[in-house]
Amino acid sequence: MLQIYCKNTGTSKSFPEGSSLLEILSEFEFEHPYPIVSAKVNNVSQGLKFRVYNNKEVEFLDVISTSGRRVYTRSLCFVLYKAAADLFPGCKLYIEHPISNGYYCVLKEASPQSSGGAGERLAALRRRMQEIIDKDIPFRREEVQTDEAVRLFRERGFDDKVRLIETCGQVYVDYYTLGNTVDYYYGRLLPSAGYITVWGLEQYQDGLLLRIPDRNDPTRLAPLVPYPKTFEVFAENLRWNNIMGLSNVGDVNCACLNGHASELIQVSEALQEKKIVQIAEEIDRRFRRPDNPLRIVLISGPSSSGKTTFCKRISVQLKACGLRPVSLSTDDYFVDRVDTPLLPDGSYDFDNFDTVDHAALQHDLLRMLAGEEVEVPQFNFVTGRREYLGKRLRLDAGTVLLVEGIHALNPRLTDLIPDSDKFRIYISTLTSISLDDHNWIPTRDNRLLRRIVRDYNAGAFTARETIRQWPKVCEAEERWIFPYQEQADVMFNSALLIEFAVLRLHAEPILASVPKNCPEYSEAHRLLRFIHYFTPVPDKEIPPTSLLREFVGGSSFKY
């Protein structure tokens, strides 16, 4: 017999060796408003079929939890793929990226002429998915040597999975079956399809949108919010990836192993520079309009999207256009620390819109637009007070003002300034590369890894502290940043094709330092497993002006 401590109840019970988490769950009684879908065992995410052979600490999770939500979504993706494979033998399903509170998918059939119109195919997919769910077909996990997994997927024409598995350096590989359908997922799945109760599938752009439960109320679907500009940024990057012949991580790994890492870095940086030049030229064109010339550029984006370095690089290109850019950060207009809004737990809510003295900021902007010279503040993050130290700004002829901050696109920040005076830029990190055709890379993982590395290198926070803060950061982004991204005049994607390969060498030792006995270890362990899929690339050829330098160090810009 072994001892299992259940964190949900704060009690321990004895179980026979080899008991599954499902069997263990049945012996612990506790309130949970939504069904349990996964668990953490010694702070490592596991499926409910996981069997225990030693004393363990277990925390059961429902779909409200981030980890449980991932398990639910992966399983739903497998149900979609099985339905497609059953209905359209030889088809290819691409689960490309998150959008509009769902996941954008493209289905390419071997013989599309024989399967009716788009509406008929969609209806058939929905019916087949529901049949699989109603039959409660179990998800089964198999563990085999890498060579066996490669053979299995090669026989089925899964070249994307073959390249990924061959290049990630694992000795053993897990794969899953759902009935007679085989697939690969880099995280755990539900015990069976019957656990899936809330889902949707509908036409979206040129493909399908797989809809998932609302993160706050999983009894209903997350609302479908259109993001046409964001979708086009994803599509643009996917087109470039396809032109370069790099549609997934296995392709990138093979390119690096074959000596093409330098070329990938050069092309990725060139594409970003080209986009920055285009944005600068558009700003210049609007600035030189005889009527209603542009005067202010508003730059916003979520945490670790690269806003600061982007501001510096766009400034260089604006100077090349003959303009004189000056920069202003909304952070310098923070209210004094004692006046900062509070979160329900009593901690400071630094991401709240009212953390910025927007009335004072807009007053200064209006004065500058009127031709006045204005003394602007600098926020002292040590004393928690706004200080005036003699920095003065004036918008002379040829001067354009860059205003950077997470609230820069919030209409309330500049509601007294005419839209014709403003140009809005939204920066995000939209990871367009996938692990394979059915395993997308969450865009937030990209930013979280950046932030972990930057915080650690700056001596600001340990990986454990950054991971602990991250959920609050994400909640604030959902409230204060994402609702305004579609109002941007232009979007800039700061993600680099080879970025994870470079971040791996920086992030590995930092993540490995997170103690196993703390809650943050679960996320550190997941991120470590994730970055091991990438062939590591040293950062020596990353240019000193790269956006990535803001996070790994070595930038030629002063921050």
For 135-155, give the DSSP string: TTPBEEEEEEEHHHHHHHHHH
Q: How high is the pLDDT of residue 315?
A: 97
Domain 2-62: give its CATH code: 3.10.20.30
SS3 of residue 11 by DSSP = strand
SS3 of residue 354 by DSSP = helix
d(CA 405, CA 208) in angstroms, rounded, equals: 34
d(CA 542, CA 507) in angstroms, rounded, equals: 16
Q: Which CATH superfamily is domain 68-226 in?
A: Threonyl-trna Synthetase; Chain A, domain 2 (3.30.980.10)
Q: How high is the pLDDT of residue 109?
A: 83
For 15, other C-beta atoms within 10 Å of its C-beta total 17
Domain with CATH 3.40.50.300 in the chain: 236-552
CA angle 222, 224, 228 (to 5 degrees): 140
SS3 of residue 365 by DSSP = helix
pLDDT one-digit tens code per residue, 346-366: 889 999 999 999 999 999 999
Domain with CATH 3.10.20.30 in the chain: 2-62
Q: What is the mean pLDDT of the chain?
A: 94
Q: Which two tokens stand for residue 264?
A: 């990938």
Q: How high is the pLDDT of residue 106?
A: 95
Residue (of 366, 290, 291, 287) closest to 324 by Cα position: 287
DSSP state of 65: S
Domain spanning 236-552, CATH class: alpha beta
Residue (of 348, 509, 438) closest to 97 by Cα position: 438
Q: How high is the pLDDT of residue 114?
A: 55
Q: How high is the pLDDT of residue 112?
A: 59
- Ranges of residues in the chain whose predicted pLDDT is under 50: none
pLDDT one-digit tens code per residue, 302-325: 999 999 999 999 999 999 999 999
Q: Which helix (H) or strand (E) holds 505?
A: helix 499-512
Q: How high is the pLDDT of residue 244?
A: 83
Strand partners, 14: 3
Domain with CATH 3.30.980.10 in the chain: 68-226
- pTM for the full predicted model: 0.94
Residue (of 297, 331, 305, 487) closest to 410 by Cα position: 487
For 450, other C-beta atoms within 10 Å of its C-beta total 26
Q: How high is the pLDDT of residue 54?
A: 96
